[in-house]
Structure 1
Amino acid sequence: MAHYLPTIGFGEWVTTVGEVVHFTGYERPLDTLKLADPRDVKLGHLLGTADMIAQMADRCYLEKCRDRLYPEFVLGGVALPLSANGDRAIKYASGLDLLRQTPEFMMETRKKRLDQTFNQAYRYIEPLFDGTNPYLDAIERSLDFLKQVLRSESWRLLRRNPQVFAAQPDSMTNVRGLMVGYFKKVWSPD
């Protein structure tokens, strides 16, 4: 963005946009974002809400968590973070372990992030759907389904295989290979 925005005449927005985009992630606490204009904060709430509900309402969200997010967490150091004393902790032991922790994440995200921090910005879509919210409805269905899968341990019910849109044809195979290499490096004796 720092390079692109000036080329289209929006160079003065680089700092603001750089802060607003952090409403979509967890890499920085939201209370550390520096935005002077309350409209920019509201924009961040809208952007963060749209990003989160679109991901969680995706019919393939559960499979994406297991098959794509877990390798991303491994390679990003989230699944196996270093503790304060330098030892490895295991936050997510596998894609299935990540799914076991997903209901709590979904409920906490709804309560703390969407309802409280983002002030229920998801409600702005409801007039378009006669007062209902198809995104929240889809999230609830997905959460109910995941709870059913977890109770029964019928992992085969998670059978969707969403298409990967990537520059390289075998990108998921490459990512899995990188993940295996990371595991070998982390767990091999020095």
Structure 2
Amino acid sequence: MADVQLANLVQMESPQAVLDEGIKLVVQFLPGANPLAVRSAFNQTVSLYEGAWEETSGCNTDYHNLKHVTDCFLAMVRLFHGAVETGAEFSPRQIHQGMVAALLHDSGYLQSRDDTEGTGAKYTCCHVRRSMDFIQRHFAVFDLQESEIHACMAMIHCTDLNCDLADVPFPDPVTEQIGKMLATADILAQMADRTYLEKLLFLYYELDEARIDDYSDEVALLRQSEEFYDRMAARFETQLSSCNRLMVHHFKARWQIDEDLYQRAIDNQQAYLTQILTGKDGDPRDRLRRSRIVDAVKLKYA
């Protein structure tokens, strides 16, 4: 199945297509999960990011956007499926908590209506805490019970790349497992995106607005991203209990593909990044051509 690519399995640019695949997995492989509640939470998230909520502005960050959220959601459902295939057991409520946490893990980038200065990127350094606060305020909209808030907040806490998971106050071992799965889904969703390298240029400007001065320009961020691959591979092993290895069980059961297509996509991205950075034919950005993202970056930040 070497010709099958991750991006071709589901139309990832379509939130509805992502939701349909997620519901299919919930119904077929996650016994007891409530597809109606999942659908409602997903649609509420889409409306939130599109600016339909009265007190919250729509998403205005180009890297941490709605597509990343839906990518993360589907990666999370796939990890749940892979875990169940290996014999793991989750209650229907735990499954729902994990899916809602995936949908809201970056809600901290969103601004209130009366916050008109800059974009949500200014909250980069505190967005995880703000996401946890968001779920604490709006849990009922997403069919969560008040007693489940702590678990969902702990799950979202795991997505902070600077946190040591040993310091996260998990209410129980299953919540810890789901939190590690969410952190894994977040990383996989970003790095396996077929336009990941192009979108790193948008990430540079988000970091710049947040006054994170680790990179002098877009190309410097691209160069540092080679090291980021290695750091995330180590994080999977040392902090996240190798939850990424659950993916192969999903692809084998759902698609009859005995391979982790997320890892293949990440490996391909890494290889291409190395190729364009070591080449001698000019600016590496000139070789990032997918979805005309580079043109959009130039137009926005000329």
Fold-level similarity (TM above 0.5) = yes
Does the CA contact (< 8 Å) of 1:35 and 1:41 recur in 2?
yes
For residues 136-155 of structure 1, the aligned pairs below 5 Å read: 136-152=263-279, 154=282, 155=284
Q: Report SS of the residue matched to 1:161.
A: helix
Distance of 1:44 and 1:148 partners within structure 2:
34
Change (3 A) 1:64 1:9: closer
* Cα distance, 1:10 vs structure 2: 1.0
* Cα distance, 1:27 vs structure 2: 5.1
Change (3 A) 1:17 1:54: same
Distance of 1:122 and 1:26 partners within structure 2:
16
Distance of 1:146 and 1:105 partners within structure 2:
12
Counterpart residue number, 1:56: 191
Unaligned 5+ segments in structure 2 are 1-134, 253-257, 294-298
* Cα distance, 1:125 vs structure 2: 1.8
Does the CA contact (< 8 Å) of 1:62 and 1:146 recur in 2?
yes
**For residue 148 of structure 1, what is the amino acid of its counterpart?**
Q
Distance of 1:38 and 1:122 partners within structure 2:
18
For residue 291 of structure 2, the aligned residue among 141, 148, 161 is 161
Change (3 A) 1:9 1:118: closer
Identical counterparts, % of pairs:
27
1:65-87 per-residue CA deviation (whole Å, 9 max, x = no partner) reads 12x11111111122x2xxxxxxx
For residue 173 of structure 2, the aligned residue among 38, 60, 70 is 38
For residues 71-82 of structure 1, the aligned pairs below 5 Å read: 71-78=205-212, 80=213
**For residue 276 of structure 2, what is the amino acid of its counterpart?**
V
Does the CA contact (< 8 Å) of 1:20 and 1:41 recur in 2?
yes
**For residue 43 of structure 1, what is the amino acid of its counterpart?**
I
Unaligned 5+ segments in structure 1 are 81-90, 164-171, 178-190
Q: Report SS of the residue matched to 2:291.
A: coil
* 31-40 vs 140-149, which moves further: 31-40
Change (3 A) 1:44 1:9: closer
Q: TM-score, normalised by structure 2?
A: 0.48
Q: TM-score, normalised by structure 1?
A: 0.74
